[in-house]
Structure 1
């Protein structure tokens, strides 16, 4: 029987990769570089010079749009809730009178209802970044996407319980779509550029370039290979750097208390992880249900956001933490001491409910920060109960772990979820073991029970329904 021995191979054989590396001879062992699974060829997405030029331009565009959209969000917040709302939204809401809290949300309901009704009726084209990457050709409508993004930031600034990242994610993807189309890139190349642009849009508004790149690779592309990771890193870093012209370069949650690894934290993470995974499934299923049952009649499309935002405003009279994307709510959980079971339990239940309500009314917005803040509140509530049995660890420690576990399992992207929390807080490195354990268990349980994510659950129905097999 013939054997494949080094003696029988040509002395000058090249590595089987395309494009070819500059050094084409194998190393002394004559093993192929592609024996390492992530060091593969470019496949159907050649990383040409034109591709890299388009990618960097996409990163610049994503960063500029991210800065502009955050400036719009901050302006609307200040107009709605007074000076200081851009820096401390919850404090501004708490300072407002009951009428001052409710009025912006009612205005937001009118803006959302009328605005999205007109946009969806009279402006054509795709605005679904995820679908354009996963099942489409990577083409997105600039006009409809820009209108959707502006409306999204306005309603979030007025207090809607939705995330701020959906708009910059969308416009980052639009930049990639337009530039890739104008430059004549292939469809697979365009999909990758759109994915990198979308991840860069998310990265720049939160100042999380590593997490943005992991989000691109893990969620939008589904592959941690060098031909994916390298463009994702380059685009996220470029967008984040450009966005510093307006946005801060520090962590979103600064000056958090230092954390210490203790045995009770590890035990809690192992026990809480599966619970958080079950909660993630319920939240994702609720998102899927309301996404498929949004208002269809014109009069309901206009009135539903007014009713939903109004109900949020009434609930926010008692719990102002529910207004907005949840950034300040998460920070409150991160710095919590050793109490607050009732408050955080209520927030962990009502924040997802209000988010689903806003989304189901037909409003368009992100889900990242609402999910993160819900995880922080859930971790704080479960941690406060745990502290009654095993005292000594601050509730904020459990909140940090809970945030990583819920966002990782709800996205079905544990690496991106962990990186997000680390970059957002610049804290929690001492909690890596319990954070990884809780995120792993939560994601595994959610995948075992269901497998949808906060992104796949929002996909529109196909024109022709396929029977499950």
Structure 2
């Protein structure tokens, strides 16, 4: 006869420990593998030195030196891959289950094969120039693996949900080398608790994943940023500009959510993706900064090496192509795109502020604005602050203007959200208001 598994407290604790460790290791290896694939494809697609896959020449440098014809050709290929790939995923794969649905829904299982295909398409298309983010891919794969491992180990439904969330956070920690942010994302963004039953595995898995990924990716921050001073001018600007970032990020969130909701999943997806990425390729002839998830323009903003006029143009175009890509049916995250948008908007607002109160570098505005925009667009302010600090490693005193801007941004966006909810509640049953169809 089959012997039932030992259900003693020691056995249950040991199984949980093994799942936590293996989840961290698998997330780290996933992040490392996906980052390697991303950088390799970028170098091959745009023809720059394969010897600088993990250091040296940046993606923006690579696409800027590529010929305009090559940019158009690579984006055309990207459109075909995106269109055919996601059409096939939706046509032949099992229904996708989001991380949030797995954590909060009745069943935490994510279809492994379909999830992996969905994630790989994100990595490939971002490598070829898609303006969407790459952070969702490692989160999805790591979360799916954590769920499968938890079920295999006989964990309870609640424990499995926690481990799915921890897998997602560990994937984020691995691909960006942000262990604190990965753990905080689990607690603040997915589980909405800081209880020790969630805190311990969240921290452990994120730390393990980051350490594993560092064996291949190194231990450098994502962005090289000077240690800017927290000047009185910057703090005053942060207090005034924070609500502006909140309103802008709120509008960006509504825009992208609407685009995702209306995206096709039939044959139109293939056609729209081809047209969308061909359009982006044509724009990239003049603006190579548009290619990729936005890390290049964000770095230029943090350096303060981009002019306000160019920042304004890139901001408008990046919002446009992010919307068109999502509307066409392409997949990807919005973390780095939102970070980039915040940095570019901050350059514009900071340049105007400097005309009245000079002395603060534009890069200081960019870092502050990026945190404020990200906090509202992701709706996880603590995670956003930690992300920006782990991304850029600024001086500790720089936390003051960042927190001021984030507080104003979140307050403004929540006020707008409540106002919108109140307006929707004012509608009469049947979608009528004042006798007129809404």
TM-score, normalised to structure 1, is 0.84
Paired residues for 1:40-439 under 5 Å: 48-84=13-49, 86=53, 87-254=57-224, 256-298=225-267, 300-336=268-304, 340-439=307-406
Q: How far is 1:48 from its partner?
A: 3.1
Q: How far is 1:350 from its partner?
A: 2.1
Contact between 2:90 and 2:265, CA under 8 Å: does it hold in 1?
A: no
In structure 1, distance between residues paired with 2:12 and 2:302: 42
Q: What does residue 461 of structure 1 align with? A: none
Q: Superposition RMSD on alpha carbons, in Å?
A: 2.0
In structure 1, distance between residues paired with 2:147 and 2:418: 28
Contact between 1:341 and 1:381, CA under 8 Å: does it hold in 2?
A: yes
Cα deviation 1:17-71 (Å, max 9, x = unaligned): xxx9xxxxxxxxxxxxxxxxxxxxxxxxx98332221121111111111111111
Contact between 2:68 and 2:284, CA under 8 Å: does it hold in 1?
A: no
Q: What does residue 455 of structure 1 align with? A: none
Q: How far is 1:309 from its partner?
A: 1.0
Contact between 1:126 and 1:139, CA under 8 Å: does it hold in 2?
A: no
In structure 2, distance between residues paired with 1:438 and 1:383: 13
In structure 1, distance between residues paired with 2:63 and 2:265: 33
Cα deviation 1:269-291 (Å, max 9, x = unaligned): 00110000000111000111111
Q: How far is 1:225 from its partner?
A: 2.3
- Gaps of at least 5 residues in structure 2 are 1-8, 420-430, 432-438
In structure 1, distance between residues paired with 2:210 and 2:127: 22
Contact between 1:400 and 1:428, CA under 8 Å: does it hold in 2?
A: no
Q: What does residue 442 of structure 1 align with? A: 409
Considering fraction of residues, name the structure with more helix. 2
TM-score, normalised to structure 2, is 0.89
In structure 2, distance between residues paired with 1:286 and 1:47: 46
Cα deviation 1:145-192 (Å, max 9, x = unaligned): 111111111100000001111110101101111101111111111111
Local SS of the residue matching 2:252 = helix
In structure 2, distance between residues paired with 1:227 and 1:379: 39
Q: How far is 1:75 from its partner?
A: 1.3
In structure 1, distance between residues paired with 2:365 and 2:187: 28
Question: 128-137 or 242-251: which moved more?
Answer: 128-137
- Gaps of at least 5 residues in structure 1 are 1-19, 21-45, 453-466
Larger radius of gyration, structure 1 or 2?
Answer: 1
Q: What does residue 436 of structure 2 align with? A: none
Q: How far is 1:216 from its partner?
A: 0.8
Label 1:336 to 1:47 Cα distance change in 2 as closer, same or farther (>3 A): farther
